[in-house]
Chains A and B, each alone.
Chain A
Amino acid sequence: MTLASLNLVAALPEIWLLCATSAILLIDLFIKDERRDITYALSMVTLLGAAFLTVNGFAWTPRVAFSGMFVADAMSDVLKLGMYGAVGLMLAYSRSYAADRGMYRGELFTLSLFALLGMMVMASSTNLLTLYVGLELLSLSLYALVALPRDSQPATEAAMKYFVLGALASGMLLYGMSMVYGATGSLDIHTIAAKVADGSANHTLMVFGLVFIVTGIGFKLGNVPFHMWVPDVYQGSPTAVTLLIGSAPKLAAFAFVMRLLVQGMPGLMADWQGMLIVLAVLSIGVGNLVAIAQTNLKRMLAYSTISHMGFLLLGVLAGTVQGYSAAMFYAIVYAITAVAGFGVVLLMSRQGFEAERLADLKGLAKRSPWFAWMMLFVMFSMAGIPVFVGFFAKLAVIQAIVEAQLVWLAVVAVLFSLIGAFYYLRVVKLMFMDEPSDESPIAVKLDMRILLSVNCLAMLVLGLMPNRLLVLCYQSVGHSLGVM
């Protein structure tokens, strides 16, 4: 292996992130608790540096590194930028929340950054092993993050559940990958795709492996029937960590699906399309129906995530560049919306009080109209009501599946999103139409107010002008798949 085939430049953001995070890990040991803001600042600088390197190295043509195990292409670059944004916002929103709960320590930062590194590796892998390594780096960091408040019983329980079910899913995934390796003799996704295409891979064995891989994907995305961990983990985790789990990893999971199914096994599309239809319809249905019964806001958002991931799969299973880019758009939009939604919950929490029950939102419009309006944006965007960007995400996906001659699927999807609209409306109702049960004012620092406002207004502005992002998704998917 020569140095040229390593082509380290393509992986510069990852290398920078790894070095910087390791440095933060060390520096933080010498920082006293009251000066923890230094760690915070360093983390932000790290993210900005990674963003700079990604933007600077951006090119439409894929750049391969590590002898074809790693690729930096337009799709992964765009997704990485989304991940930096989500992680950066998560660290910013959770500052006072974490400080109040004794979580404002080096672990929060380094683990979040390592999780980010895992996501980035997932987004850029073209080899089953690197994909798996990225996934495990992400998952292990998240397990530890969930258990960060180690004396909290719900958090420990959530971490345990997450770990056991996550490990099971990883096992499934590895088993499936080993089948694929057995059938094709390669771990490189392009070689696998070629072997499937020329018929030299045993079809039965491939489909057998595919089932396990799709199962693993279903676990990681939180699709029904592999969704049982999602509500418990969302509810049990500290809200800051819930925000992280609910946002950026969905972008990585999208890339994961793209690399494994779309790039790795396009020849088996007929097989995985059917499986994804089942997962998608069940997710949209169960997610939306069960969300209605929730009284805990985080749990409700967990079920809402499940249904959104179903929608994301709809885009993928359309099997066209339009569909993939619609799914990518959906993932990015979802990440922005979820960050804002959990951001509201985070900022509303105070010392010794988690604003996580639905009833805590009662009369919010009277206590803090600004918060109420921001949350209203989030809810209507998630419900897919124009002119918020969530509508265009749904529009793009539905358009892709109608084009793929799956009109019935489109009808099912919109009918369930009608049911979904109910629980989003209920949140708006609680905020605007009920009397507050708790009159205490909500104190939020001005900088966080501005940040959250920008975050929420982004949903409106993107809704008014979605074209740029749509084109960006379309072109990056097209270039990454080599069809442009």
Chain B
Amino acid sequence: MSEHLLSLAIWVPIVAGLFVLVTGGDQNAGWARKIALVGALLGFLVTIPLYTRFAPMHGGMQFEEMRPWIETFNINYHLGVDGLSMFFVILNAFTTLLVVIAGWEVIQNRVAQYMAAFLIMSGLINGAFAALDAMLFYVFFEAMLIPLYLIVGVWGGQNRVYAAIKLFLYTLMGSLLLLVAFIYLYFQTDRSFEIADFQRVALPLAVQGYLMIAFFFAFAVKVPMFPVHTWLPDAHVEAPTGGSMVLAAITLKLGAYGFLRFALPIAPDAAREWGWIIVVLSLIAIVYIGLVALVQTDMKKLVAYSSISHMGFVTLGFYMLVDGAPTTYGVEGALVQMISHGFVSAGMFFCIGVMYDRVHSRKIADYGGVANTMPKFAAFALLFAMANSGLPATSGFVGEFMVIIGAVKVNFWYAFLAATTLVFGASYTLWMYKRVIFGDVANENVAALKDVNAREFAVLAVLAVAVLGMGLYPQAFTEKMHASVDTLITHVKTSKLP
């Protein structure tokens, strides 16, 4: 069993998705939901041993699986996780489970296809995180777009088609350059698509620069970094609640993970030479996008901008270099931030979804005094808002704090600018919270609100436990990633110039 854990993590949701799909039309929606729930639960359960059996002292790949896939191109079905990727497989399976529950009654139209799309996407994303063969990664990375496109385009809001096509084309643009980069590396490594071989091969600085551009386009779009972030607010606003949750919690992480797995180790000298560009863009994202978030009138848009700003921390953490390598604090802080943001943003989007299902508006101005009619909900929302602002004892604090500590070692001004997020983040999140939740009951819509039901309560409670748990005991996460981060930093320190 143990040697097939990753295959199970990939294929259990996909097979479950296919089963859901064959239930057919909406007359069998009940079955579709039940099968989807069982599939998502099984998919989550098979990922848990990845954590419990993970050897924390081992910096290399674990749970490896290897079999040839396309011999002609030397593409292998090679899977494995290390401390950098293991958590995201689990986080993804976890989020998928929540998404299935979140869409339980909300989605009434083409239920089977909705559930199937999420399950299949979940399997594909796991594949991308677990792939150790670059072409296998690419296949998963890109195939994932198909269900995502359908989710946004079919079950989204008013302007969903525009958002879906924008999302697809933006991400495809980046990944096509990635494809050329991979093929180039394939010939440089004597016909191998192994990521490990890519990381080892010596490359001249100019080539590393070109590769870094290709990687940048592929992954910066996904993260998304300033200035290629504009698809994200559109996609988030139009996506159904489940789509926003997965988008924010998981697919953005795939971009950041790409930087860590490909861009940094394959082009470390280029990172030393041009990494400052990424640092600058990250700081712009943190400060400028934080200010943009402040003026939003649409709650989903506000959280979307806040995601971009938070992801700025992640790329900052990866590319702040001391002695030619990222700092342990920076990388681990960024990883913690990625996981934490997965919980927090999923929680925030779910909260907005809960209100939207009742009032059918995302405008802040349409709310006010929600705490009067939905006290339980208001309490949960406060926790996620605090976590989003980076309050200590919540998960949001740990990652940001670690990155800022790392930044102080590099450059005072990096740290200074990064720390402004503690002000801006708190302002836009808490100000939105104040306008929506506090005050007098604003209108009859709000007056008629019913508090969360058992299903919604369950999702909120699970996410709240995760946020608090991670905030109180982050070692549970950092101790498993430590060895892998060290391996990475040692690797990046060594010049790859021929």
Contact = CB atoms under 8 A, between A and B. Distances in A.
Contacts of B145: 385
Interface string A350-383: 0000000000000001000100000000001000
B7 to A, nearest CB: 14
Nearest to B150: A432
Contacts of A433: 153-154, 160-161, 164
A415 B165 contact: no
Given A407-B180, A414-B180, A428 B71 contact: no
Interface of A: 365, 369, 380, 385-387, 391-392, 395-396, 398-399, 402-403, 407, 410-411, 414-415, 417-418, 421-422, 425-426, 428-429, 432-433, 466-467, 470-471, 474
A40 B169 CA distance: 45
A387 B143 contact: yes
Contacts of B72: 467, 470-471, 474
Nearest to B168: A425
B70 A467 contact: yes
A432 B154 contact: yes
Contacts of A398: 179-180, 183
Interface residues of chain A: helix, strand, loop or mixed (majority): helix
A426 B166 CA distance: 12
Given A402-B187, A474-B72, A428 B149 contact: yes
B175 to A, nearest CB: 9
B37 to A, nearest CB: 22
Contacts of A411: 177, 180
Nearest to A415: B176
A412 to B, nearest CB: 10
B142 interface: yes
Contacts of B179: 395, 398, 414
B139 interface: yes
A403 B160 contact: no
A425 B176 contact: no
Interface string B162-173: 001100110011
Contact of B69 (A386, A391, A407, A467): A467
Nearest to B138: A386
15 contacts: A385-B143, A392-B70, A395-B183, A399-B186, A410-B183, A414-B179, A418-B172, A418-B173, A421-B169, A428-B153, A429-B165, A432-B153, A433-B164, A467-B71, A467-B72
Contacts, number: 89
B180 A402 contact: yes
Interface string B138-159: 1110110110011001100000
A470 B69 CA distance: 12
B416 interface: no
Nearest to A366: B110
Contacts of A417: 176
B73 interface: yes
Contacts of B138: 386
A310 B69 CA distance: 28
Most buried by A among B176, B184, B186, B187: B176
Contact of A386 (B143, B150, B154): B143
A386 B142 contact: yes
A465 to B, nearest CB: 8
B242 to A, nearest CB: 17
B146 A385 contact: yes
B234 to A, nearest CB: 15
A398 B113 CA distance: 34
A159 to B, nearest CB: 37
Contact of A421 (B113, B164, B168): B168
Contacts of A414: 176-177, 179-180
CB-based closest 8 A-B pairs: A414-B176, A386-B139, A470-B72, A433-B153, A467-B70, A402-B183, A386-B143, A387-B143
A415 B214 CA distance: 13
Given A399-B73, A433-B160, A425 B165 contact: yes
Contacts of A387: 139, 143
Nearest to B139: A386
A148 to B, nearest CB: 38
B212 to A, nearest CB: 15
Given A380-B146, A433-B161, A403 B180 contact: no
A391 B145 CA distance: 14
A350 B78 CA distance: 48
Contacts of B140: 386
A470 B179 CA distance: 19
Nearest to B140: A386
A466 B24 CA distance: 30
B142 to A, nearest CB: 5
Interface residues of B, number: 37
B165 A395 contact: no
A467 B183 CA distance: 17
Most buried by B among A365, A396, A414, A470: A414
A401 to B, nearest CB: 9
A429 B176 contact: no
A407 B182 CA distance: 12
Contacts of B180: 398, 402, 407, 410-411, 414
Interface in B99-149: 110, 113, 135, 138-140, 142-143, 145-146, 149
A432 B179 CA distance: 28
Contacts of A428: 149-150, 153
A407 B184 contact: yes
B173 A391 contact: no
Nearest to A433: B153
Nearest to B170: A418
Contacts of B183: 395, 398-399, 402, 410
B165 A470 contact: no
A402 B184 contact: yes
A425 B149 contact: yes
Nearest to B69: A467
Nearest to A329: B72
A455 to B, nearest CB: 19
A429 B69 contact: no
B17 to A, nearest CB: 13
A385 B150 CA distance: 14
A426 B165 CA distance: 8
Nearest to B71: A467
B70 A466 contact: yes
Most buried by B among A415, A432, A470: A432
A407 B184 CA distance: 8
Interface in B1-37: 24-25
A31 B138 CA distance: 56
Contacts of B187: 402-403
A208 B112 CA distance: 62
A417 B175 CA distance: 12
A471 B176 contact: no
Nearest to A399: B183
Contacts of A395: 73, 135, 179, 183
Nearest to A467: B70
Contacts of A392: 70
Contacts of A426: 165
A369 B24 CA distance: 9
A391 B24 CA distance: 28
Given A402-B180, A421-B168, 13 more contacts: A385-B146, A386-B140, A387-B143, A392-B70, A395-B135, A399-B183, A414-B176, A418-B173, A428-B153, A433-B153, A467-B70, A467-B72, A471-B72
Interface string B182-198: 01101100000000000
A391 B138 CA distance: 11
Contacts of B139: 386-387, 391
Contact of B161 (A410, A429, A467): A429
B178 to A, nearest CB: 10
Contacts of A402: 180, 183-184, 187
Most buried by B among A392, A396, A399, A470: A399
Most buried by B among A386, A398, A407, A467: A386
B78 to A, nearest CB: 15
A435 to B, nearest CB: 12
